Amino acid sequence: MTITTGAGDIDRRLLMDRSVPRRVAFTVPDSDVPFQKLPDSSYLRDDVELPEVSQLEVVRYFSVLSQLNFSIDTNFYPLGSCTMKYNPKINDELANLPGLADIHPLQPEETVQGAIRLLKSLQDDLGEITGLPGVSLAPLAGAQGEYAGLLITRAYHAARNDAERTVAIVPDSAHGTNPASAAMAGLEVATVRSDDHGNVDVENLRELADGRTAVFMLTIPSTMGLFEPNILEIIKIIHDAGGLVYADGANLNALLGIVKLGDLGVDICHSNLHKTFSTPHGGGGPGSGPVMVTDELAKYLPKPVAEKTENGYVLAIPEASIGPINGFHGSFSIAARAYAYIKSLGLEGLQSVSENAIIGANYIQAKLKDKYDLAADRYCMHEAVLSASRQKKRGVAGLDIAKRLLDFGIHAPTMYFPLIIEEALMVEPTESESRETLDHFIAVMRQIDDEIDSTPELIHEAPHDLPVTRLDEAKAARKPVLRWTAEG
């Protein structure tokens, strides 16, 4: 047998395939407590095949596994609408301080004054940033923030004996959670069209807004990565019709320190701490989507809301609260990370975050627009929405480009969203990437465009060098294999 060498040879065997009978990773010390009877043998299974491996094998297995995925700590990750920005490590350090990490949600309030004060301070900062001073940190995700905001809308109309208002108007470019949250909150969804420039079609909105309008949900900046130029007029149309304006501020990355949603006339918004405020995300959580409202609506906020009283900090229930929307106070350790982020930047620093995010996206747009169509040929905000429609005509779809980018160590941009843009590739570089990284991305995107004419098979078969190569998308959707089984 010949043994070949290769520095890049990484052992990618499954843990099960490393198993050797009776090998162990850990030896339990002799028991120093009285022996307990085993459970009835009918509860014990002997058909569970478990790997028998040494501790070193386990460490190697998980260390390799942790490297097989893309993450913001390993790769450029321009996933539009998801704001994969750098998660500063000082945030983790702060959140892991024993006074913040080793506390329990049911502990008496007087023993966790510092933690509640942190929540109050974060509430105040989010109120200041959005111009909407009533804040609850309870929602565990952006979608839950939307849901809370829509329940607040319903409570507001119900309190005014205006319960006929059951329609949520949502733009056709909206994030899918918007209509879904509206439906969950018991509202009917009416879709307003976008015009040729990607803005809300104001005339269409005028036709839709009436005595049944409960709320209009607008993503700001829009999912096209654009600032809505008619925003003041739009808000006036909705207010004149008696409805409330909800801003989806999941991605406030373009507006920090520049625009306050409350100043525009927005009544309610949410923001994702796991996007705009640099807390980690992916893998299903933990997330955090605080909901912010005007003073008038603050009494409806979900509980709890941190408050300062004469007797110190308390977790209060607002007067006409929609109630709890989950257990306890939301994602505390995530709130602590966002607090660290905001405090370490200060309001001025936050403004430069947005300025740099906007410059980065516009730089990419300007450097690629001769090769790729733009969703809208004007300055964008923090994300550039490209279209691969010209490439599609030459035989390479947006999906193929996204797959080929993986070969260059770049995570795919968001694809086929917003839905109204053909072959959409939504690129969000964020403020945390360097000029060199952006230049590398631009060069790769230009090279892929050249490859369409020279070596299209390279694109069609990509990715070539990843642990998982090209998937059968249809089969993956129809017959997903969701867990590992011994049979393989």
Ligand X SMILES: *Cc1c(COP(=O)(O)O)cnc(C)c1O
Q: Given candidates 250, 340, 388, 396, which one binds ligand X under the rule CB under 6 A?
A: 250
At residue 189, what are phi and psi to the nearest 5 degrees? -105, 125
Backbone angles phi, psi at 387, to 5 degrees: -130, 135
Q: How far is the CB of 298 from ligand X (least distance, A)?
A: 22
3-state helix, strand, coil in the chain (%, to 5): 40, 10, 50
Phi, psi (deg, nearest 5) at residue 292: -120, 140
Give dist(CA 358, CA 3) in Å, integer. Answer: 52
Residue 22 sits at the vertex; the CA angle it makes with 17 and 25, to the nearest 5 degrees, is 75
**Total binding residues toward ligand X, as defined by CB under 6 A:** 13
Neighbours of 38 (CB within 10 A): 8
Name the minimum Å distance from CB 289 to ligand X.
5
Closer residue to ligand X, CB minimum distance, 143 or 350: 143
If one asks whether residue 251 binds ligand X (CB under 6 A), the answer comes out as yes
Do the beta carbons of residue 289 and residue 270 sit within 8 Å?
yes
Q: Which of 136, 272, 430, 432 binds ligand X (CB under 6 A)?
A: 272
Angle (nearest 5°) at CA 165 between 199 and 326: 85
Could you tell me the smallest distance in angstroms from the CB atom of residue 288 to ligand X? 8
CA max distance for the chain:
84
Both tokens of residue 308?
A: 């300062």
Q: How far is the CB of 393 from ligand X (least distance, A)?
A: 30
Which span (13-21, 85-93, 243-251, 376-384) binds ligand X, by CB under 6 A?
A: 243-251
* Distance of closest approach, residue 272 Cβ to ligand X, in angstroms: 5
Residues 381-400 that bind ligand X (CB under 6 A): none
Q: Which of residues 118-157 bind ligand X (CB under 6 A)?
A: 141-143
Interface residues for ligand X in 169-198 (CB under 6 A)? 175, 177
Between 241 and 252, whose beta carbon lies closer to ligand X?
252
Task: Select the residue interacting with ligand X from 149, 171, 243, 287 (CB under 6 A).
Answer: 287
Residue (of 361, 383, 386) closest to 375 by Cα position? 386
CB of 287 to ligand X, least distance (A): 4
Integer Cα distance of 271 and 254 in angstroms: 12
Residue 261 C-beta: closest distance to ligand X, Å:
14
Rg (the chain; Cα; Å):
26
Give the contact letters, 83-122, x = binds to ligand X (CB under 6 A), - = no: ----------------------------------------
Q: Which residue is nearest to ligand X (CB)?
A: 142
Listed ranges 55-63, 112-120, 244-252, 415-423: which one lies at the site for ligand X (CB under 6 A): 244-252
Task: State how far the alpha carbon of 215 is from the alpha carbons of 38, 154, 265, 359, in Å.
Answer: 59, 9, 13, 33
CB closer to ligand X out of 250 and 292: 250
- Of 203, 199, 197, 242, give the one whose Cα is nearest residue 218: 199
Q: What is the dihedral of CA 226, 229, 232, 234, to 10 degrees?
A: -80
According to CB under 6 A, which one of 57, 201, 228, 248 is a site residue for ligand X?
A: 248
**Pair 273, 338: CB distance under 8 Å:** yes
Tokens of 243: 């409805």
Q: Does 218 bind ligand X (CB under 6 A)?
A: no
Could you tell me the smallest distance in angstroms from the CB atom of residue 364 to ligand X?
19
* Residue 81 contacts ligand X per CB under 6 A: yes
Point out which residues bind ligand X (CB under 6 A): 81, 141-143, 175, 177, 219, 248, 250-251, 272, 287, 289
